[in-house]
Amino acid sequence: MKRTIKTAWAGGVLALACACALQAQASVVIAATRIIYQAKDRETTVKLGNEGQAPALTQAWIDKGDPKASPSSIDVPFAVAPPVARIDPGKAQTLRILHTGEALPQDRESVFWLNVLEVPPKPGAEDSEVNKLQMAFRSRIKLFFRPAGLQGLANDAPAQVRWRRVETGSRVALEGRNPTPYHVSFASLELVGGGQTARFDDGEMIAPGQTMVFPLTGDAPRGADAKVRYHAVNDHGGATRGEAPLAAP
């Protein structure tokens, strides 16, 4: 599954007239929506593809969760090779991600982020008299480091999250507690019952051992038959549907 999370990084700030042409479409896509790095493996790989009409220069790095951190200031236990690459139109580049050996927790997953920055090519001679705003695009996906021997299975983790109905000010919310050693990502949540439905559609992740509150919109049921319906994201980036009961108040 290919998805490009398009986050524009300013390649420059220009005052342009209304007749200016704007190039604002990323060409390089990551052939995954998440990466699972099994601790037993020496490395893992991910493919980048250039679906545009011009060569693309890419820079790749890994961060700890701060999207504003400069690549030169980040200290993570991973290396990416090649860190910089040119990808011709219609071609692909494989990135190798290697754990450099520093200790990470062995009783739960750790999460990092892979960044791929696409730098647009310089305008050609034919564009020298045309005003253009060129932008660099960054794609950013999660990288999970999964130690060997964790209890249970990652695919079973969403069903093990424990849910409570709570109040946050004037709003109803769902409180989820993740007792598993895996990160659980939810694309959406619903609290349903008695013909009423309240939703959370913003997408969020609960870390191992973490408790998180999800504010709901809509008519939240209060009856004993209320239950949670969820769409969780699996290791392959697909959706896993399920239902779970609410804990007693």
185 CB neighbour count, 10 Å cutoff: 21
Average pLDDT over residues 82-92: 96
Q: Look at residue 215 and tell me whether its pLDDT is greater than 90.
A: yes
Q: Which pLDDT value is given to residue 129?
A: 58
Q: Which residues contact 54 (CB under 8 A, 6 or more apart)?
A: 27, 89, 120, 121
Kindly state the tokens that stand for 98. 């290697």
Q: What are phi and psi of 9, to 5 degrees?
A: -105, 135
Kindly state the tokens that stand for 77. 């236990």
- CA dist list (Å): 246 to 3, 124, 229, 230: 33, 61, 11, 13
**E strand or H helix that includes residue 160:** helix 157-160
CA distance 91 to 75: 31
CA distance 192 to 196: 6
CA distance 56 to 138: 13
Q: How confident is the model at residue 11 (pLDDT cuts 50, 70, 90)?
A: very low
Which range is least confidently modeled, 15-19, 26-30, 39-43, 98-102? Answer: 15-19
Q: Please provide the average confidence, as pLDDT, over all residues in the chain.
A: 87
Burial label, 86 (beta-carbon count in 10 A; 0-12, 13-18, 19+): middle
Residue type, 65: G
Q: Look at residue 30 and tell me whether its pLDDT is greater than 50.
A: yes
Q: What is the pLDDT of residues 154-203, one digit of tens each?
A: 999 999 999 999 998 889 999 999 999 999 999 999 999 999 999 999 99
Q: What is the pLDDT of residues 236-247, one digit of tens each?
A: 999 999 999 998
Q: Which pLDDT value is given to residue 61?
A: 97
* Domains of the chain by start residue, with CATH: 7-146 (2.60.40.10), 154-245 (2.60.40.10)
CA atoms within 13 A on the CB side of 125: 0
